[in-house]
Amino acid sequence: MTRTAVWFQRNLRVTDNAALEWALHRTEQHEGEIILFYLYSALDETPWRRGAASCWWLQQSLTSLKHDLSQRGLALNLIRGSASDIIPRLIEQYNVDAISWQRNYEPHLAHRDQQLAEQLAQRGITLNIANDGLLPDPGQLMTQKGTPYRVFTPFYRQLRKALFDVTDQASTITRADTVVSITLHESLTLATLNLLSPHPWQHKLARHHQPGEQQAHQKLQRFIEERLIDYPIKRDFPAAEATSTLSASLHFGEISAIQILRILQPIIEVGSPSQSSAAEAFLRQLIWREFARYILWHFPSSAQESMDTRFNASFWDFDEQRMQCWQRGETGISIIDAGMRQLWQTGTMQNRVRMLAASYLTKNLAQPWQYGARWFWDTLVDADLANNSMGWQWVAGCGVDAAPYFRIFNPETQAKKYDADGEYQHRWLNDYSQPATLVDLASSRREALQRYQDHIKRNHQ
Ligand SMILES: Cc1cc2nc3c(=O)[nH]c(=O)nc-3n(C[C@H](O)[C@H](O)[C@H](O)COP(=O)(O)OP(=O)(O)OC[C@H]3O[C@@H](n4cnc5c(N)ncnc54)[C@H](O)[C@@H]3O)c2cc1C
């Protein structure tokens, strides 16, 4: 008899889950037993321990996954502890002979998984490491010189060309009655997994989000039916709420990029020209996500250090008071303050406002991008190491394919263009008495340009 374990990580869904399917198939073939588990370890996540908003989403998502699996006769075990301690012990104690999990792209987790995989392989355990990105393998797509891409457009072209080959049939697990699913005696309840911080801040998130696999599919469906057609035009307008809002679901794998691709493919191929180009525009954003994961995989230090090494810590000038005003939405620039308050209230912020808030912090206020990224990391429900590091470095002008340093958004001009009637700003600034501006926009822009120019001259490569 075989015993196959499935380690759920960022694939918190039942359908189209390659790690789960592989294990179910193996178990059915050998009339074996299956152990499904989620392992929470704050230690393993160090130095990127989740923030409270992300933990809240995770807790809801696990509740939903547990329910969805139990509907199919499968038990999800919840365990606390470091993977390198717990997994070898489980394997020994429960005579597990195979384990399946999904590939991680973050350097600290990829390193942990690699070590564990080697250790288990030496003990003769069969391993299946699944992938659910659009790019089957991050080592697969390289420039002609054999180096990783650093520029988005050629990466995009290469991946886009290959895409529709990967859209094989979707799979749905309705019931797994013939499979014996084991409940471990060390399994915890969601409450004792201790994901939620005692701070009441996170409770308000429930007013804005509904995590879970089914909810992610419903959201996608609504987005396709009601918003996709206007996506290319309206996605930049924060009051329009014109985007999919799927980022946290994608991060936790409640839905995968391949599942979305399957839905976009017929629209692109046989939809009207405007439907087709809207679906392409949306797909392009999913490829940005793929690019971020690819960059983090190939350049693991990019979560902490500027890709352009000229912009090391000495370039920025940390100032606690500026940082706090920005975090609290008290900069005196209403579009920035609205965005920062939206973030605090809801754990999310619209993409253009993220760009404006990041540009203002790193350029007008001269603060290190890493500090801004850390605040986003702590407060976003969709906090994602790859997307967040790339987004911040792009705006700060020090990342791969970065916006040039002289592109400094003027938040007031941007607000006039993208929130002309102030609807977005009113929505998030209802209890706002506008503080004096922290810095003058025109002079801080000039100073930033000078700072970048001088630094580049001094560090000419
Ligand atoms: C400074 C900064 C920080 C960011 N931090 C994060 C983060 O921590 N987590 C995160 O998921 N996104 C981050 N983004 C990217 C982007 O803002 C969000 O993905 C987007 O706002 C989520 O809304 P949506 O799901 O409605 O996006 P949609 O417009 O509907 O896009 C669909 C999906 O494509 C992906 N995507 C969209 N834009 C980008 C992008 N620019 N880069 C990479 N992937 C993208 C996301 O997975 C998104 O859910 C950041 C951007 C910036 C400028």
387: CA distance to ligand 1 center in Å? 7
- Ligand 1 pocket: which of 209, 258, 387, 401 to mutate (most atoms <8 Å of CB)? 387
Q: According to the CATH classification, is domain 3-132 in 3.30.1130.10?
A: no
Q: Is the pLDDT of residue 374 over 60?
A: yes
250: CA distance to ligand 1 center in Å? 10
Q: Are strands 3-8 and 98-102 parallel, antiparallel or unpaired?
A: parallel
Q: Provide the angle, in degrees to the nearest 10, between the axes of the packed helices 83-93 and 107-122.
A: 30
Q: Is the pLDDT of residue 366 over 70?
A: yes
Give the start-to-end residue ranges of the domains of the chain: 3-132, 133-170+213-298, 313-458
For position 172, what pLDDT does the model report?
A: 64
Q: According to the CATH classification, is domain 313-458 in 2.60.120.260?
A: no
Nearest to 98 by CA among 2, 21, 11: 2
Residues 35-48: what's their mean pLDDT?
94
How far apart CA 337 and CA 327 sit, in angstroms, is 9
pTM: predicted TM-score of the whole model, two decimal places = 0.96
Q: Is the pLDDT of residue 156 over 60?
A: yes
Q: For the domain 133-170+213-298, what is the CATH code?
A: 1.25.40.80
Nearest to 326 by CA among 358, 282, 298: 358
* Distances 163 to 6, 244, 250, 253, 290 between C-alpha atoms, Å: 28, 21, 18, 19, 12
pLDDT band at 344 (very low <50, low <70, confident <90, very high): very high
Residue nearest ligand 1's atom 11 by CA: 247
350: CA distance to ligand 1 center in Å? 8
- Give kind and range of the element (H or E) at residue 283: helix 273-298
- Give kind and range of the element (H or E) at residue 130: strand 126-130
How far apart CA 68 and CA 81 sit, in angstroms, is 24
- Give kind and range of the element (H or E) at residue 216: helix 213-222
Span 305-333, pLDDT tens digits = 999 988 887 888 899 999 999 999 999 99
CA angle 177, 179, 183 (to 5 degrees): 105
Nearest to 35 by CA among 112, 106, 86, 90: 90
Any atom of ligand 1 within 6 Å of the Cβ of 243: yes
Any atom of ligand 1 within 6 Å of the Cβ of 358: yes
241: CA distance to ligand 1 center in Å? 14
Q: What is the DSSP string of 131-162?
A: --SSSS-TTT---TTSS---SHHHHHHHHHHH
